[in-house]
Amino acid sequence: MDYRDRHVVVTGGTGALGTAVVGKLIAAGAVCHVPAHSEKAAQRFPHRDHPQVKIKADGDLSDEAAVGRLFDGVPLWASIHIAGGFAASPVAETSKADLMQQVDMNFVTCFLCCRAAVNAIKRTGAGGRIVNVAARPALEWRSGAGMAAYTASKAAVAALTVTLAEEVAKDGILVNAVAPSIMDTPANRQAMPKADHAAWPRVEEVAATILFLASPDNKVTRGGIVPVYGRS
């Protein structure tokens, strides 16, 4: 896939999946715009000094002004929205604050970045791509028992993806999402040491699917919520 001279925003780009996505984009020739939610996150990001990477320190993506600054002046081809957060608790033990935190971290950030991306891509007149990150419980609701707030927020991301895809197809903007199961990361291995780690999809494998959906090689796929489960 050829991303030469194409500008791509990657939210959550300093995390495990984001790092894999940015690495593949760099190798394909893209210029990556990556928001960092903290200086610490920016410093540990392995691609921070690459000439094709532009890090922006203003990383509160639930804030409209911050999102506006992230996309301002970018001749955008694609926007990949990985940023989010996870929390698990039974409904009976989930406060409104807990619920709204999940909604803000997962759905609001995605919505605001989608809106900014659509406007930025339209300004180029060349079309483009948007890829969101939902989750397996967003498709398989029963698997979200014990983490209803997270599940609902990711289901909202899935619904947003499909409706937005229908809105902007006429503008040459193809919108899709991936829905990962638990991915093979050091943090997940530590949290679940007895799980079958070999069955989990690796972040590089999920990144490859994202890269295709965001690429000019994807000419027809839109409105898809693509399961990336591996063998799990």
Residue located via tokens 């990477």: 53
> Residue 41 — very low, low, confident or very high, per pLDDT cuts 50/70/90?
confident
pLDDT surpasses 90 at 147: yes
* Spatial separation of the C-alpha atoms in residues 21 and 82, rounded to whole Å: 10
Q: Where are the domains of the chain?
A: 7-228
* CATH code of the region 7-228: 3.40.50.720
- On average, the pLDDT of the chain sits at 96
Q: Which residues of 56-74 are buried (b: 16+ CB within 10 A; e: fewer)?
A: beebebbeeebbeebbeeb
User: How many percent of the chain have pLDDT more than 90?
Assistant: 92
* Spatial separation of the C-alpha atoms in residues 223 and 139, rounded to whole Å: 14
Residues 104-133 have a mean pLDDT of 98
pLDDT surpasses 80 at 59: no
Q: Which residues are catalytic?
A: 150
pLDDT surpasses 80 at 16: yes
* Spatial separation of the C-alpha atoms in residues 29 and 42, rounded to whole Å: 21
CA 213 to chain centre: 12
* Spatial separation of the C-alpha atoms in residues 177 and 155, rounded to whole Å: 11
pTM summary value:
0.96
> Residue 40 — very low, low, confident or very high, per pLDDT cuts 50/70/90?
confident
Q: What is the pLDDT of residue 70?
A: 96
Q: What is the pLDDT of residue 57?
A: 84
Residues 160-179 have a mean pLDDT of 98
- Residue 98, CA distances (Å) to 16, 44, 95 in order: 24, 28, 5
For 72-115, what is each residue's pLDDT tens digit? 999 999 999 999 999 999 999 999 999 999 999 999 999 999 99
Q: What is the pLDDT of residue 38?
A: 85
Q: What is the pLDDT of residue 94?
A: 98
User: How many percent of the chain have pLDDT more than 70?
Assistant: 100
User: Which is it for strands 128-133 and 173-180: parallel, antiparallel or unpaired?
Assistant: parallel
Beta carbons of 184 and 197 less than 8 angstroms apart: yes
